[in-house]
Structures are given as structure tokens and as C-alpha cells.
Structure 1
Amino acid sequence: MDASSKAVFNFSFDLMKEMLKTEGDKNIFYSPLGISLVLKMAMLGTSGNTKTEIEKVLHVSEECPTQDCQGLPSSIKALLSNQAGKKYDLKVVNALFGEKTITFLEQYLQLIKKEFNVELNPADFKNNAEIERQKINEWVKCLTNGKITDLYAEGKLDGSTVLALVNAIYFKGQWAIKFNPENTREETFNVNKNEKKTIQMMSHSGKFKFAALPDIKSKVLLLPYQEDISMIIVLPDETEGIKELMSKTTPELLTSLAETKDLKETDIDVKIPKFKLEADYELKSKLIEMGMKEVFQENADLSGMSNAKGFVLSSVAHKSCIDVNEEGTEAAAATGAGVSATVAYVRKQFTVDHPFMFCLVNNKDMLMLFCGVVSSP
């Protein structure tokens, strides 16, 4: 795992812990890569303590500890390029929409173009914020094959908006070994110790990378898609073990798992639920709790964007969805930040019949594309 992938992994781990504080027993799903890309686009326009706080939350120092981190690493830039010819569909696209009456610094615009392959799209937020909101939402909808609609809710962009930074990420891929629909059965999923529900459980047998981790009372399974992408499932031993899992798990352990160093190919009977998740978050309060405070306050230093005074980051909206079935997985997410003025050979069983954590990673560098917790399929 390269340094940039580790930084995204650690940011995702911190965000998941913050999510679990407020989301309770709800399903959780988001794109740590998508969120971090939007925040990095904003970070390039910050200075001073504002920049330092964002760098800390994004674990930027782990990417380049001995130099000023301005640009994106090559591994992430590769994902922003054309993914044609792959056996899966992956799109990672960024966009910048700026108020046409504001003069943005040429240095900032050139840096955004160089690192994110993005040019500023002039927008009339001052007079037609609702029309601009609809245009941005339509752009996101198109890039995510219609999966993400209304990234910005009505009223989220208004006359005070001067800049909207947007990321859209979409993935659709088939399992390396597909589940046979004839083997899908109705089975019981234990939502918690007191609540059960009937779900559609997929199953098949084969050799998969697996590890039992008694120190964190969990098991881990890696399910590969066709070419380059895998789903990592972390299943607590106990029905209500997710919060204990997160309290005992360290980022170092998760990155080690993502690198599959501790996973051994094993004969396993696998059972996982078919599930669809949709999530909609305003991340401002969570990012503040994680230490990214100043960028949302009146003393924010966004002087790298424009000579105009009073810029603050007003919101960070994130929507995501995923559909996991016998064929494979379709997942999408979009993030928008608004800137305002102001062992032995034994066939094992891996039955996912209670809440679990999962993530989708790029096999080459273990870059985390999506992450989630399924509490109730």
C-alpha cells in the first residue's frame, strides 16, 4: 500500500468512528476517496492554520512527510484518467463551479487543472442559484449513471455561494466468481440481539482469502471482482460487535488487512446478503469533530482561492448508494463542498448473518473507493 492509499484508509477509519457516534444502528455507506478529493480541492486554496487542520484530518503528512503537499499522487491521478478497457466500469470525476462575478486566483485555477484535470465552470449563484443547483445535480446524475440524484438539496446553494467543488465516483463490476441465483435463499439476519429479519442470502463455495482475528474478535474475507477491485468484509464474532470492533481496531491493522498480508487462501462456504444501501450526509459537523474547524468559520484562510475576503466552507454534502447481488456490485457516490462568502485444511464457514463492515479497494495499491457498515440489509 502506498502512502496516499494509507492516508485515505486512515481518513476513512476516523470518519467511520465519527459516523458510528451519530448514526447509531443505521446502515452507513460513503466514498472516502470521493470525500478526500473534494476536501483536497478546497485545501489547495487554503493557507495557515486552516490548511494545517485539513491536512491533519486527511492524514496528508503520511503521504509526503518531508515536503509541502500540493498535488495528487500518481496512483490517484491514474484513477482520474480514462479507465477504458477494464472489465469493470469505474469513473472518478471532479468539477469546479465558481460564481462568475468573483475573480479566482490564476495560481489556484492552474493548480486545480494540473492536479485534478478540472477547469472552472462559471456559474450565476448570485442571481440564479436554484438553476445552478439543478445543473450541478444533473451533472452528478449523469456521471453516476442516474444513481445519485439531488446531491445538493433545495436551498443548499444560494446567493452567498461563490464556489461549489464536486466529486462523482461510480463503480460497476462483476464478481470473479459469480453467485448462482439458484442458491440464493431466504435466511435470518440478526440485526441485534433482540431483532431479526428475513433477507435474501447468496451463497457459494470456493477458495478465498480469509483470516480469523481473535484479538479483535472478528473474521475477514476478501471477495474479488473481475480485475483490479475487491470487497473486503470484516465480520465481528458477536452480533453486536461492530462498535467493539472499531474501538479495538487500529488503522495499522486495517491497512495490513487491506494489503492482505494476513489473509490466507482457504476453502470456504460463503454466505452474504444481497443488499442495497442509500446514504445522504451533511459532513460539516463530523469534519469539525475530527478537527477541521477553521475552514467553516469566519476566520477561515481561503486566500489561495481569491483576493476577495470572507470566504468560508459552508457545507460538505455527500450522497452514496450500492447494490450488491449475485452478478456483482454497482456503487456510486458524490461529494459537494460549497464555499460561501462568509491454518489446517478444513472447509470454513463464513456466514454474514449479522452487522458487518465492508470496503471496496483497488487491488494494485489498496486505495479505498467505498466503505460501509451494514446493520440491516
Structure 2
Amino acid sequence: MLPVSYASLLWLSTCLWGIWALDPDPDMSLRNHHRHLAPANVDFGFSLYKHLVALTPDRNIFISPVSISISLAMLTLGARGSTRTQLLQGLGFNLTEIAEEAAVHRNFQHLRGLLLEADTSLEMTMGNTLFLDHRLDVLTSFSADIRHYYAPEALAIHFQDWVRASSHSSEYIKNKMQEKIPDQFPELETPGTFTLVNNISLKGTWAIPFDPESTSEEDFHVTEASSVKVPMMSQLGAVKQLNDSVLPCRLVQLDYTNNGTAFFILPHWGQMDTVIAALSRDTIQRWSKSLSVGQAHVSIPKIPISGTYDLRSTLEGMGISDLFTERADFSGITGEAPLKMWKVVHKTVLYMDEAGLTTTRAAAPAERPTPVPLSNQPPTIIKFNQPFLIGVFDSFTWSTLFLGKVTSPT
């Protein structure tokens, strides 16, 4: 057995196929377990999102906070000392209130159960795959705990031959996600000893799909002085909407079948940073209570949104810094020479069309119920034809599935 002294790589790769929602009657004990976890998860998601936006102010952003939090929680099983403390605190947990760390993992286990085991007509897959250096002697206790709580797959990789290892890993992810993602495993400065791949796949449809015949090319104003042509989906009918009197923005809420819901938030020109800074649990709750149903003509770009993020600087800004230094302590994984995290990369893909959220541009047309217009009320025109924000939530598990910012649709 060779000593382990290489930098290690955590690859968090998520792909959005749609929006998933739960059956209204799963086991209530699972739901109650997750509600102890949900506030920390939501706060972590908004914190991560704000740090990432601050580092890349001019880029489109689209991340899956719940997917990232599950992966980082899994990593704490192998972390020790300040590395473990930083991970747990970064995830939003008050260590003085945690009676036992196992309770945290049980709650994440129950969350995974809610996400994966609900009786629903929608399709969802979520997985974690460990790519292990074939020379790495993993502790039995770590293997048992990680299988019990997070059920990852494990594959032995010859990291000495990085070209072969990269090809093997990339092909494996392509087969799992049914989506080719280029440059998944950039060449390491030094070979990695383990790689963690996290993927989430969901399929779903709008509760009231858009009519494809109403989609047309329109201008999207990237700045006040420049614009690009994009296909805009349109819908006229009763819509949950709000012209916020507290924050400089307007928003609409569009529902998916079952419990998924999406907020489309349109900041006033020059006020994007103000709105992002105010995103929080309290803001989302206030918006939910303040929305009213009114007749509106809503237009949203029909666009693919994707991105690859190296989260190192983002996590360091959130206080999770030991992962990338010689101070990193992952002795709970091998008990041998120190392991150091090399990268944390997060990948998302979203295609937004008239039917809902899907991985294919040519989705089968959905049966479209007719929206019921409100009589005697002129429709409000709400066009998302300038930079806007997206938040996709699951109301049953209180999970932040996705957060996004669209600066330029191209």
C-alpha cells in the first residue's frame, strides 16, 4: 500500500431534467424528521448562492442547493477536527444544539427517502458515486456509515493513469445522467485519491403548460443599451403575482404538478444586487403570503441554462477553508496520510420549455388545461425580458431545489 499524499477532488455534478414533487401522503415521520433539517438547508442554500453571485457578478448562475448540502453532509462522515466543524457550521448547523452528529445524518437520510421513495408519477434519480484510488485502504467504519446514510456507489480507479481515469469517470457520469457534460474532469496538477460525483435528475411539467403556438422571437435586454433575440413563451390567465412594495421587484409564482413551485423574480433596472441581498427564508415566506391571483399576460424566455462552478472560493468565503489546505483532516476516510481537497465543482443543466423543465428540447407536448381568466380585469403584462432570478422549491420537504440568475439568455 503506497502512502496517500495526493490532492483529492470532489466533483459535485447536478443535472436538472425538470421539477419533482411529492405525493401528499408519505410517511409523516420522514416529513417531521426533515423539518428539523429544512431551516439550515434553506439558509445554507441562500448563503452559497449569494457568495457565488458575488464572485461572478456578470454570469448566469444556476445551482441546486439541496444537492450540494447532501454531498457536503456526506463528506463530514470522513472529516475530523476543524474540518468537520467547518463543514457542519458552513451547512448552517449550530454545534451546541446538535445532541449527536448521527442525528444530522439520519435527517439527511430521511430527506433522501422523501426525495427518492415517494409514490409519485414523476421520475427522479439522485446518487452519489465515489471514485476511489485502487490503492486507497478505506476504513470499514466510513464505508459502513456512508452506505447506511447516503447509499453511494463506489468504483476503483487507477489515478496514476489520469487520462484513463478521467475517461472512465466521464463515461460513467454520461451513462448515469444521459447527458454528455464536457470537461467534467480537467487534468489534475497531481493525481486525485478520491472523487465524489453527486447527481440529481428530475422530470416534471407545469400545472398549466404554455401553449407552443404562443411562443415567438422577442428582444431580451441584457443591458439598457443591448439586446438579443430569444424565443419567449407566453401565457394569459389567472396568475399568482406580486408587485413588491418592500423590494424593487415584481414576481410571479408558477406551479408544477404536485408540490413543486417556481418563483420568477424581475428586479427593477439596476436593483438586481438589492433583491439578491434580501433573499432569505423570511423574504420567501413574505412573498408567499403576499401573492395575489390576478389576470396577467406572462412572458418567459424558452432557454437552456447551464453552468459549471468551481466552488472552492465560494466555500472558503463561507468559512469552509480547511478542505483546500494542508490542515484538511479526512482521517475518518483512511486513517492514513492526510488527504486534501483539490476542487469542489458543481454542474447544472436546465432546459425550460412550454411543457415544463426537461432535459430534451423536443419534449412530447403536454395536455394543456385552459387557464381561467378573471373577468372585468385588464391583464397585467409581465415580461421577463431583462435579467431576472429563479427559485424552484418543493413545498412538501421545504427544500430549495434550485436557485438561478439569468443575466443573458445566450
TM-score (normalised: structure 1): 0.87
2:171 corresponds in structure 1 to: 138
Does 1:172 pair with 2:203?
yes
Residue 107 (structure 1) aligned to one of 141, 144, 149: 141
Question: Are the structure 2 counterparts of residues 168 and 81 from structure 1 closer, same or farther at C-alpha, using a change threshold of 3 Å?
Answer: same
Question: How big is the shift at 1:214?
Answer: 1.8
Matches within 5 A, 1:184-195: 184-195=215-226
Question: Are the structure 2 counterparts of residues 143 and 371 from structure 1 closer, same or farther at C-alpha, using a change threshold of 3 Å?
Answer: farther
Question: How big is the shift at 1:308?
Answer: 0.7
SS at match of 2:289: coil
When the two chains are superposed, the root-mean-square deviation of aligned CA atoms in Å is 2.6
Matches within 5 A, 1:81-96: 81-82=116-117, 86-96=120-130
8 Å CA contact 1:88, 1:174 repeated in 2 = no
Question: How big is the shift at 1:143?
Answer: 2.3
Deviations 1:109-133 (A, max 9, x none): 11110111124322222x3332222
Question: Are the structure 2 counterparts of residues 63 and 240 from structure 1 closer, same or farther at C-alpha, using a change threshold of 3 Å?
Answer: farther
Q: Equivalents in 2 of 1:122, 1:63: separation in Å?
A: 38
- Between Structure 1 and Structure 2, the one with more strand by share is 1
Q: Equivalents in 2 of 1:187, 1:181: separation in Å?
A: 15
Q: 1:172 corresponds to which letter in structure 2?
A: K
Deviations 1:212-242 (A, max 9, x none): 3221112232211222322221221x12321
Q: Equivalents in 1 of 2:71, 2:397: separation in Å?
A: 21
Unmatched runs of 5 consecutive residues or more in structure 2: 1-33, 361-375
Residue 78 (structure 1) aligned to one of 106, 109, 113: 113
Q: Equivalents in 2 of 1:370, 1:331: separation in Å?
A: 15
Q: 1:77 corresponds to which letter in structure 2?
A: R
Residue 56 (structure 1) aligned to one of 63, 81, 89: 89
Q: Equivalents in 1 of 2:147, 2:244: separation in Å?
A: 44
1:337 corresponds in structure 2 to: none
8 Å CA contact 2:254, 2:263 repeated in 1 = yes
1:210 corresponds in structure 2 to: 241
Q: Equivalents in 2 of 1:179, 1:312: separation in Å?
A: 48
2:406 corresponds in structure 1 to: 374
Does 1:15 pair with 2:43?
no
Question: How big is the shift at 1:55?
Answer: 1.3
Question: Are the structure 2 counterparts of residues 136 and 61 from structure 1 closer, same or farther at C-alpha, using a change threshold of 3 Å?
Answer: farther
Residue 276 (structure 2) aligned to one of 246, 250, 253: 246
Q: Equivalents in 2 of 1:64, 1:147: separation in Å?
A: 43
Q: 2:142 corresponds to which letter in structure 1?
A: Y
TM-score (normalised: structure 2): 0.80
Q: Equivalents in 1 of 2:394, 2:60: separation in Å?
A: 23
Q: 1:148 corresponds to which letter in structure 2?
A: I
SS at match of 2:348: strand
> In the comparison of the two structures, how many residue pairs are matched?
359
Q: 2:386 corresponds to which letter in structure 1?
A: H
Q: 1:271 corresponds to which letter in structure 2?
A: S
Deviations 1:117-167 (A, max 9, x none): 124322222x333222222222222222215344222x13853x1111110
8 Å CA contact 1:94, 1:165 repeated in 2 = yes
1:151 corresponds in structure 2 to: 184
Identity over aligned pairs, percent: 26
SS at match of 1:188: strand
Q: Equivalents in 2 of 1:62, 1:272: separation in Å?
A: 43
8 Å CA contact 1:190, 1:239 repeated in 2 = no
Residue 2 (structure 1) aligned to one of 35, 40, 60: 35
Deviations 1:51-102 (A, max 9, x none): 111112211339974442344435522255356x634332211111222212
Question: Are the structure 2 counterparts of residues 82 and 70 from structure 1 closer, same or farther at C-alpha, using a change threshold of 3 Å?
Answer: closer
SS at match of 1:261: helix
Residue 257 (structure 2) aligned to one of 222, 226, 231: 226
1:265 corresponds in structure 2 to: 293
Question: How big is the shift at 1:207?
Answer: 2.5
SS at match of 1:319: strand
The structure whose RCO (Cα within 8 Å, separation 6+) is larger is 2
1:312 corresponds in structure 2 to: 340
Q: 1:200 corresponds to which letter in structure 2?
A: P
Q: 1:39 corresponds to which letter in structure 2?
A: L
Question: Are the structure 2 counterparts of residues 369 and 317 from structure 1 closer, same or farther at C-alpha, using a change threshold of 3 Å?
Answer: same
Question: How big is the shift at 1:20?
Answer: 2.0
8 Å CA contact 1:210, 1:221 repeated in 2 = yes
